[in-house]
Structure 1
């Protein structure tokens, strides 16, 4: 019985090694970047949040303090979300648009459209966020 299990384990390992590696889904990568940045905001970790911003955003806000201040003032629902969920998304070349439905800490609902860009090193970075109040829906 042990010999059969060993042969099966070795065969499984050989087959797994022979399978081609698959790149992570770009949408999963984009959502992961957004979640990591929101988590960094919630922890007041300016360095981690700033590191997830694209080079063009970092050019506009050349230090972490200026960046985090801009987010605090201009994007309070992103900086301190009460709740959020991913909505629709669109991939076009190396750019991903990801809708994020956010309830701010004040209870107001927002729709944020994140622009995520693929970087030469293979990573994804946040290149901008467009916020708008969410349209009122019917009560549940």
Structure 2
């Protein structure tokens, strides 16, 4: 029996309509990928803006509670660890009056930079205290199981840059 060898030459190039179709598919995929990236970036930015606005409102509301000496309202913005440490609104308010006077009775308040950190969100707050000194209050926050936010700390330092 004779052997028949058949060879095929494979065409490595696409021709005509098939080439245009593939180009259209690749361009469409690239555009869709770019649009998805922009949408996700925008959603992340929007979410960060929403969180930033919510945290600023919490700080503002707590400072208003301090101004009106409403210990229960001010204490309500504290994270569980702070509530556990101070136990009662009056004890918490006494600590704020003694150690956080610039936040307790500010002459002026302006918000600085909002940052997401590995420990959660932080918000800079520039405060002019009752004595006229400039302070930086760095607030930290903790998200609660129900999705709400509570203040987990306030680190107060004299703001040398603002004082100049």
Taking structure 1 as the reference length, the TM-score comes to: 0.78
92-101 or 122-131, which moves further after superposition? Answer: 92-101
Is the CA contact (8 Å cut-off) linking 1:94 and 1:118 kept in structure 2? no
- Identify which of 115, 122, 126 aligns with 1:90: 115
Query: Which residue in the other structure is 1:128 paired with?
Result: 153
Structure 1 residue 108 corresponds to structure 2 residue 94: no
Instruction: Output the CA distance in 2 between the equivalents of 1:77 and 1:138.
Output: 14
Q: RMSD of the alignment, in Å?
A: 1.9
- Deviation by residue 1:57-94 (Cα, 9 ceiling, x = unmatched): 00110001110000000000000001000001111367
Larger proportion of helix = 2
Moved over 4 A (4+): none
Larger proportion of strand = 1
Taking structure 2 as the reference length, the TM-score comes to: 0.67
Is the CA contact (8 Å cut-off) linking 1:101 and 1:112 kept in structure 2? yes
Q: Structure 2: which 5+ runs fail to align?
A: 1-45
Structure showing greater Rg: 2
Q: Structure 1: which 5+ runs fail to align?
A: 1-21
Structure 1 residue 68 corresponds to structure 2 residue 93: yes
Structure 1 residue 38 corresponds to structure 2 residue 24: no
